[in-house]
């Protein structure tokens, strides 16, 4: 969501990262989660005017036509949402490598299952998902997922590949030669002037051990 706002050059306030004294932080998240119709289940939530929209894919679908991040045609918009939802599936599976039993339990309570799940993810699911996007990029001449310019699922694929590089550096290194077009897309997104400025700024959050893409070396390929 941040990448879409940054690429579009939209001003926004990342309320969770504002100090509580300025109306931000956890109380601000709680306020947003209690408001809205329907009430959101979980962050992220985009508040725009009197609207509060939850679910990453829906937020992106709502933002994209307003900020030139998707083409006008129905076929292109459907393709964008299809790619976005496939990326969302991949993100859930990446998360489940470290939390295969319960999202509410600590990683340390599910390490054995996590090792099995991560091994299967690395051997089968990761190459299948990224191989799929590689094939989509190979089928078109532009190097973007849809048509001849960047759309919001390109940003999401960028974020996901960066996250996977962080979480599974050895597995991603091994896979890299089989996904040159995904790699080129990542470089191309990172070089967009607004995105480059964002990535170099304090607004960009580092990957960390509380997020979706966590680095547990024991879950990566053995060296």
CB of 88 to ligand GSH, least distance (A): 6
**Tokens of residue 198, six digits:** 């964002």
CB of 179 to ligand GSH, least distance (A): 23
CB of 27 to ligand GSH, least distance (A): 15
Nearer to ligand GSH, 61 or 71 (CB): 61
Taking the C-alpha atoms of residue 145 and residue 186, their distance in angstroms, rounded to an integer, is: 12
Phi/psi-derived region of residue 24, left when phi > 0, alpha when psi is between -120 and 50, beta in every other case: beta
Q: Considering only the C-alpha atoms of the chain, give the largest distance between any 2 of them, rounded to a whole number of Å.
A: 52
**Tokens of residue 60, six digits:** 């992106």
Nearer to ligand GSH, 14 or 131 (CB): 14
- Who contacts 76 (Cβ-Cβ below 8 Å, separation ≥6)? 70, 146, 147, 151
At residue 26's C-alpha, the angle toward residues 25 and 29, to 5°, is 100
Taking the C-alpha atoms of residue 64 and residue 68, their distance in angstroms, rounded to an integer, is: 6
CB of 16 to ligand GSH, least distance (A): 10
Exactly one of 6, 15, 28, 56 binds ligand GSH (CB under 6 A); which one?
A: 56
Nearer to ligand GSH, 58 or 196 (CB): 58
**Contact between residue 31 and residue 37 where contact means Cβ atoms under 8 Å apart:** no
**Contact between residue 157 and residue 130 where contact means Cβ atoms under 8 Å apart:** no
Exactly one of 55, 86, 110, 176 binds ligand GSH (CB under 6 A); which one?
A: 55
Nearer to ligand GSH, 36 or 44 (CB): 44
At residue 88's C-alpha, the angle toward residues 25 and 114, to 5°, is 85
Question: What is the C-alpha R_g of the chain?
Answer: 18
CB of 172 to ligand GSH, least distance (A): 22
Binding mask 24-53 for ligand GSH (x = CB under 6 A): ------------------xxx---------
CB of 165 to ligand GSH, least distance (A): 20
Binding mask 62-91 for ligand GSH (x = CB under 6 A): --------------------------x---
Contact residues toward ligand GSH (CB under 6 A) are: 42-44, 55-56, 88, 103
């Amino acid at each position: 969501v941040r990448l879409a706002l940054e690429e579009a050059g939209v001003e926004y306030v990342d309320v969770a990262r504002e100090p509580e004294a300025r109306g931000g932080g956890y109380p601000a998240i709680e306020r947003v989660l209690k408001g809205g119709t329907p009430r959101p289940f979980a962050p992220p939530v985009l508040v725009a005017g009197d609207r509060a929209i939850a679910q990453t894919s829906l937020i992106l679908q709502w933002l994209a036509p307003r900020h030139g991040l998707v083409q006008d045609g129905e076929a292109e918009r459907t393709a964008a949402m299809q790619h976005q939802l496939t990326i969302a599936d991949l993100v859930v599976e990446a998360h489940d490598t470290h939390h295969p039993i319960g999202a509410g339990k600590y990683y340390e309570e599910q390490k054995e299952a996590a090792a099995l799940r991560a091994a299967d993810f690395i051997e089968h699911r990761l190459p299948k998902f990224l191989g799929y996007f590689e094939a989509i990029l190979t089928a078109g001449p532009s190097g973007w997922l849809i048509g001849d310019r960047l759309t919001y699922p390109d940003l999401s694929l960028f974020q996901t590949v960066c996250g996977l590089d962080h979480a599974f550096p050895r597995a991603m290194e091994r896979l890299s030669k089989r996904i040159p077009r995904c790699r080129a897309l990542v470089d191309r997104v990172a070089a967009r002037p607004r995105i480059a400025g964002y990535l170099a700024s304090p607004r960009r959050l580092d990957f960390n051990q509380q997020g979706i893409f966590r680095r547990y070396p024991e879950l990566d390929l053995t060296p």
